[in-house]
A = this chain, B = another copy of it.
């Protein structure tokens, strides 16, 4: 957001007069998954999410999106957020890579060609609880041990698709009752699977469902899958990708084409307009951590290219 503001100010300071207006968009709730999915703002703006979400989406305490937003002072209907198709001629997003490739290769700009989309799902495993001392090992239906095996099966599947672009993560594991002396009776896992190739991702998920069901049956636990989110991967606009590459060449800044493994508001903006993304390196590929960092020079490179492409796209 600040990079976009700086790019606009740079163009203003240079005396540039756009033919098409340039707007700075600040999306709400790109990151928080309080309601199970991120990118609430861009999902609503693009029509990916409809007014039904107002009551359908609930947080862990059972509060609906409508209740939460109303109590935070956001009135009006969700439908009113939707932007008509054709309103924007292009959408550009500047972001850190959130991966190690640019830094490792010493390249300053990534011209994003496509955005991998996550499929996230919740796996609820119900076994049989009991006292940790009282139930013999052969009689156990331990929900956590089943969950551990299921999580490892997911990892093995992700590592064996033959493509480096497949990633899978189990970021949430809630154990009930969660006592050192109690056999877990219920475990909830939340899984995230991503790939630039939607068919390969969906095939992995199909195999995962089968393997998890087999593990559950063998261990005598009940398993249930709840989809959280399943978005299609999206290509960036080839003309905008080219524009990023050419602007980099013109400014003597190194650039390579690459995919985005993380997803962004841009993913949803592809539903209503051509989209381009500009990546800059980040230290050790780290993000979503307190030590997330990129360098002032890297930011300057990113803003320079953003301003250049904005100027080109708004010139006619």
Residues of A participating in the B interface, judged by any CB pair closer than 8 Å: 33, 36, 38, 97-100, 116, 118, 120, 129-139, 142, 144-145, 147-149, 151-152, 155, 158-159, 164, 166-173, 175, 177-185, 190-192, 194, 228, 260-263, 285-289
Taking A172-B175, A185-B289 as known contacts, 18 extra A-B pairs with beta carbons closer than 8 A to each other, sorted by chain A number, are A98-B133, A99-B134, A99-B136, A116-B133, A130-B286, A131-B288, A134-B261, A142-B169, A144-B170, A145-B170, A148-B148, A149-B152, A169-B182, A171-B181, A171-B182, A177-B288, A180-B190, A180-B192
Contact present for A137 and B149 (CB under 8 Å): no
- Give the contacting residue for A151; candidates B144, B181, B285; CB below 8 A: B144
- Give the contacting residue for A171; candidates B38, B148, B179, B228; CB below 8 A: B179
Residues of chain B within 8 A of A166, CB atoms compared: 137
Contact present for A194 and B286 (CB under 8 Å): no
Residues of chain B within 8 A of A38, CB atoms compared: 181
Identity of the chain B residue whose Cβ is nearest the Cβ of A153 in the assembled complex: B148
- Cα A177 to Cα B172 in complex, Å, equals 8
Contact present for B173 and A130 (CB under 8 Å): no
Question: When A99-B136, A130-B287 are in contact, do A172 and B167 touch as well, CB less than 8 Å?
Answer: no
- Cα A275 to Cα B152 in complex, Å, equals 45
Between A130, A194, A262, the greatest number of chain B beta carbons within 10 A of the residue's beta carbon is seen for A130
What is the CB-to-nearest-CB distance from A159 to chain B, in angstroms, rounded to a whole number?
A: 5
Identity of the chain B residue whose Cβ is nearest the Cβ of A290 in the assembled complex: B129
What is the CB-to-nearest-CB distance from A119 to chain B, in angstroms, rounded to a whole number?
A: 11
Residues of chain B within 8 A of A261, CB atoms compared: 131, 133-134, 136
Residues of chain B within 8 A of A145, CB atoms compared: 151-152, 155, 170
Contact present for B167 and A171 (CB under 8 Å): no
Question: When A100-B139, A166-B137 are in contact, do A180 and B33 touch as well, CB less than 8 Å?
Answer: yes
- Cα A17 to Cα B184 in complex, Å, equals 47
What is the CB-to-nearest-CB distance from A225 to chain B, in angstroms, rounded to a whole number?
A: 14
Identity of the chain B residue whose Cβ is nearest the Cβ of A144 in the assembled complex: B170
Q: Which 10 A-B pairs have the closest CB atoms?
A: A98-B134, A133-B262, A148-B148, A132-B169, A99-B134, A133-B261, A180-B190, A132-B192, A98-B131, A131-B287
Question: When A133-B116, A133-B263 are in contact, do A181 and B33 touch as well, CB less than 8 Å?
Answer: yes
Residues of chain B within 8 A of A289, CB atoms compared: 129-130, 185
Residues of chain B within 8 A of A133, CB atoms compared: 98, 116, 118, 167, 192, 194, 260-263
- Cα A184 to Cα B177 in complex, Å, equals 21
Contact present for B130 and A285 (CB under 8 Å): yes
Residues of chain B within 8 A of A178, CB atoms compared: 171-173
Residues of chain B within 8 A of A171, CB atoms compared: 132, 144, 175, 177-184
Residues of chain B within 8 A of A184, CB atoms compared: 170-171
Residues of chain B within 8 A of A173, CB atoms compared: 144, 173, 175, 178
What is the CB-to-nearest-CB distance from A234 to chain B, in angstroms, rounded to a whole number?
A: 13
- Give the contacting residue for A167; candidates B135, B164, B190; CB below 8 A: B135
